[in-house]
Chains A and B, each alone.
Chain A
Amino acid sequence: MAARLKVHVDPDKCQGHARCKALAPELFELDEYGNAHEVGDGTVPPGLEDKAWLAKSNCPEIAIDVIEE
């Protein structure tokens, strides 16, 4: 069975580029200032793994972690 993924945004590193929200809106949301955080506890639903990695690899601040559980 494939590993389950979780995403996490480091709020101290996020500067609100909003790339994650554009690329993986199912996994990330923005606050009133446009800074990102993961949806819920960050669990990546099956089928959205690629989007999790895509968001990570497009974050200019390297603020996103993808954790394999």
Chain B
Amino acid sequence: MSDVSQPVAHPPVTDWINDFDHTDPQWTNDPFPIWEELRAASPVVHTERFLGCYMPTTYEAVREIANDTEHFSSRRIIVRDVRPEVARNAAPPITSDPPVHKPAKQLLLPPFTPDAMKKLEPRMRAICNELIDGFIADGKVDAAARYAKYIPVRAIAHMLGIPESDSDLFINWIHMILEVGIKDETKLLEAVHEMSDYFRAHIEERRSKPTNDLISYLMNAKDKEGQPLEESHVLGSLRLLLIAGIDTTWSAIGSSLWHLARTPADRERLIAEPELIPTAVEELLRAYSPVTMAREVVKETTVSGCPVKAGNMVLLSFPAANRDPKMFPDADKVVIDRRENRHAAFGLGIHRCVGSNLARMEMQVALEEWLKRIPDFRLDPGGTVTWSQGTVRGPRQLPFLLGKAM
């Protein structure tokens, strides 16, 4: 059990340029000035933490790495304190490199096209309204815990064909894998095993009673030789869909509402011009991108002129890339009608998020339905906004007062 280590507390960061740490409370609370400092220092910075890790700080450097699958592998996609053996928790295609990646990705793409998402939209609107019904009369709400969180979890449960009422179970696994798991291998493995057992039971049920959902879709999928997928592949992909689809969009919806609560002018504009919401969603995705990915350097190379050595991890911060002023004028401002927006919130290159069309639809519907019913809201001065730590960033506690200010 050499790779099962006890969690270790990280010393606070005092030198961001040579010793960065994306789990530091300062980063969790307000990463934007840190990224600016790192970007001013170098296109690529390094830390000895996490057994050695680089971070590209510019949009260009992030793009270079995302497009270079020869030197940068996806076999490890979370920067953690430990480097357990790979493959055991593989979740194809996100943990796959070429040439294995493409067929695994192509299996997952058809259920997530924009047209497929349109069919899901009425259910999403109903879910949003059911959630709003649950708190609108109270005059206050934690919008992260009671709204943003449940929209993606119920959407993906609906698509997978598992009970929406198991939502809290899924949310706990994801917390264990993406947050606690950075430092605590035992908790991560426990969560992975529980998820696998859960899905195994659902697969078993479908052997006698096939259904019209994503679990049955994957069970019946064939690889490029025409053979059914191995169970480990099916389970890995199911774990991926559940993990990747939830706290990511939860974070994006939460950050969007957080911005609108603090920016009445943007809120009023979106209410007056709802047709602007899709454009605004892109800008909110840029400014508050939730997802930071990772790669492992497998072969020495250079990125934007900086040498990188094999054996190190790479913190692939799409959120930092999206704040690069060389790529985006007024990068630190939310320009709700920004016309040119090549943001990388869903990644760049072959690992573009398979659920990007789902996430966009969920964000649009979540904002539309909220603004229709709750045009006025603001942060509750009596409460505290808290942010998730690590790989996915978004508000986890988002106390709002609803209705016009007195």
Q: Which residues of A contact B (CB under 8 A)?
A: 15-18, 21-22, 30, 32-34, 54, 57-62
Contacts and interface: CB of A to CB of B under 8 A. Distances in A.
B352 A58 contact: no
B15 interface: no
A68 B278 CA distance: 29
Given A17-B356, A18-B357, A21-B114, A59 B342 contact: yes
Contact of A16 (B115, B344, B348, B352): B352
B340 interface: yes
B112 A57 contact: no
B383 interface: no
A32 B346 contact: no
Contacts of A33: 106, 109-110, 113
Interface of B: 106, 109-110, 112-115, 278, 282, 339-344, 346, 348-350, 352, 356-357
13 contacts: A15-B352, A17-B352, A17-B356, A22-B278, A30-B113, A30-B115, A32-B110, A33-B110, A34-B110, A57-B339, A58-B282, A59-B342, A61-B349
A60 B343 contact: yes
Nearest to B350: A15
A30 B342 CA distance: 19
Contacts of A57: 339-340, 342
Given A54-B339, A59-B342, A15 B114 contact: no
A51 to B, nearest CB: 12
Given A17-B352, A18-B356, A30 B114 contact: yes
B312 to A, nearest CB: 26
Q: Would you call the interface of chain A mostly helix, strand, loop, or mixed?
A: loop
A34 B342 contact: no
Contacts of A60: 342-344, 346, 348
A34 B339 contact: no
Contacts of B109: 16, 32-34
Contacts of A22: 114, 278
Contacts of A16: 109, 352, 356
Contacts of B346: 17, 60
Contacts of A32: 109-110, 113
B13 to A, nearest CB: 31
A62 B341 CA distance: 12
* A-B interface, 8 closest residue pairs, ranked by CB to CB distance from nearest: A15-B352, A33-B109, A57-B340, A34-B113, A60-B342, A32-B110, A34-B109, A18-B114
Of listed A17, A22, A54, A61, residue having the most chain B CB within 10 A: A17
A17 B349 CA distance: 10
Contacts of B106: 33
B349 A34 contact: no
B354 to A, nearest CB: 9
Contacts of A58: 282, 340-342
A33 B103 CA distance: 11
Given A30-B114, A32-B110, 4 more contacts: A17-B352, A32-B113, A57-B342, A58-B342
Contacts of B349: 15, 61
A54 B337 CA distance: 13
B401 to A, nearest CB: 34
B275 to A, nearest CB: 13
Nearest to A33: B109
A15 B311 CA distance: 28
A21 B346 CA distance: 16
A59 to B, nearest CB: 7
B377 to A, nearest CB: 28
Contacts of B282: 58
A24 to B, nearest CB: 13
Of listed A16, A54, A58, residue having the most chain B CB within 10 A: A16
A39 B348 CA distance: 24
Contacts of B357: 18, 34
Contacts of B340: 57-58
A58 B356 CA distance: 15
A14 to B, nearest CB: 10
A60 B343 CA distance: 6
